[in-house]
Amino acid sequence: MSAILTIIKREFTSYFYSPTAYVFIVIFLVLSGFFTFMMSSFFTNNESSLLVFFSWFPWIYLILIPAVGMPMWADERRLGTIELLFTMPVTAVQSILGKFIAAWLFIGIALLLTFPMVITVGYLGYPDYGAIACGYLGSFLLAGAYLAISGMTSAMTRSQVVSFILSAVFCLLLIFSGWPPFTDMLVEWAPTWLLQGAASLSVMPHFASIQRGVIDSRDLIYYFSVIFFSLFTTGILLRTHRAG
């Protein structure tokens, strides 16, 4: 556990030594504010809630989270430092968990910086703060799922660009597999069992459920299953690279 905490501390502090981290935070805050106020009916809904705000996160994360996760292992492979990492007294599991948790915490900091949105809806009306808290929880879990997938694709290649594209595609598939506009296009020729199976793999119904203020154990299991599977696959890829 001490080794994991050491890696988390090192990786987490390294984010704030790079200007890229501040660029990410600024872009995230600008995009979330722009889509909420300029691209949505936030002021015309006559409803004091952040449903519109959270509804954009699956799409905003689609670009920003892969940008955070793409150098996680691709840089280690490109620079050859992954061989040095394997010689240190830490296991692959400790390294994977340390890097992932540090990046997840960094994204969590960016998410917390959107607190002016909560102040705004509180000023405009009487929002359901429980639903808002659930929305933040769902957004944090969604970010973790995307990030774990991005770490997995980063372990596949030495190129950050390839890692970014792969992770964005995988995350997009998780959105489309259960997104009503997409499934409605397939309902005429795809069997029902296939549509239901694809929908169960989508992040959208699970995210929407928590966003509405309902914390269901099935939604939590879904997110942690995606994270576990992606981290487990990352470990297999790194062991394969080490054996090679």
228: left (phi over 0), alpha (psi -120 to 50) or beta: alpha
The crossing angle, in degrees rounded to 10, of helices 203-211 and 129-156 is: 150
| Mean pLDDT, range 45-63, rounded to an integer | 85
- pTM across the whole model: 0.89
Q: What is the pLDDT of residue 242?
A: 60
Domain assignments of the chain as residue spans, ordered by start: 2-41+64-243
Q: What is the pLDDT of residue 127?
A: 84
**pLDDT-based confidence at residue 85 (cuts at 50, 70, 90):** low
What rounded mean pLDDT belongs to the chain?
Answer: 85
Q: How many CB atoms lie within 10 A of CB 112?
A: 10
